[in-house]
Amino acid sequence: MITQRPRFTLDDRLPADHLAKALRADVASGLTAEPKTLPPKWFYDARGSELFEQITRLPEYYPTRAEQEILTRRAPEIAALTRAGTLFELGSGSSTKTRLLLDALTAAGTLSCYAPLDVSPSALEQAGTALVRDYPGLRVAATVTDFEADLTLPPDAPGPRLIAFLGSTIGNLDPEQRASFYRSLRRTLSADDALLLGADLAKDPEVLVRAYDDSAGVTAEFNKNVLNVIDRELDADFDPEAFAHVALWNEQEQRIEMHLRSLRAQSVKVPALDLSVDFAPDELMRTEISCKFRRDSLTTELAAAGLTVRHWWTDPAARFALLLAVPSR
């Protein structure tokens, strides 16, 4: 289905029941696994997205500000290096930070198309409508898709192409998932294209844990919201107040993990899946991983997928990295 608007197209590649089926599959497999897990993508209903916007403004949560600092300083350099005719963004959401890149590429005189990819049609429509209003010469070709399963980019977008994957969303993927993602991405890139990747860097575990367990309790509410999503969509009877938010540093895996800890022995029913799930007191259910990176290891795993890091920038405190990678020759 393609909805046409002046300079704005919205191509919905997802079947009407895609998200419902994916939620059912993820919840069924996650709640019957040992240990139990839920993927972080289900945080982001309307309420979850609102809570995450609040998180990005918390004093403890530095990644959004650090990445924005780098983009503010380096966007003109990125524009000059890539000369991109099309900017693709994976998991674009509201496209707020992307405006720094759009401004720089527009000023450089190369950009003609912005192609955001996201699972939310409403987010893409809202962002696209604003962007074609604010950038009179820009065409916005939005695609509703799940980039983990579909990385096909619009074929008529002019090159060179810059693919932006910001916010350290890459950290939500484990090493095997990242390797698969890089390989899929490499297959879509031509010789003149480039990848702009945001990555949160390994640092003092206390700083990391505070970023995911803020004193105001916003992240705790965000974490528990996944239970509200399952209750609403699958007619489950999770009681969010029967779980506590837990954020911890996994030194061996070099990642922050978010969990929900059962405060008592309880049984949860998920009628839509004909499933009953028992929780022991203090049992942990993992809801997110956020891997943290070091320059050498991240450069090595990109190289293994055929991507060479050409530029590496950090904020002044070296908390976050933005890197530019190109297909290896």
Taking a C-beta distance cutoff of 8 angstroms, is the pair 150, 119 a contact?
A: no
Q: Which of 5, 3, 2, 1 lies closest to 133, judged by CA?
A: 5
Q: Return left, alpha or beta for 17; rule: phi > 0 is left, psi -120 to 50 is alpha, else beta.
A: alpha
> Of 88-102, 108-122, 124-138, 298-312, which range is least confident?
88-102
User: Mean pLDDT across the stretch 12-31?
Assistant: 93
- Give CA–CA dist 42/44, Å, rounded: 5
What is the structure's pLDDT at 150? 80
Residue 93 has pLDDT above 70, yes or no: no
Query: Each residue of 114-145: pLDDT tens digit?
Result: 999 988 888 888 889 999 999 998 999 999 88
What is the structure's pLDDT at 120? 81
What is the structure's pLDDT at 240? 97
Residue 239 has pLDDT above 70, yes or no: yes
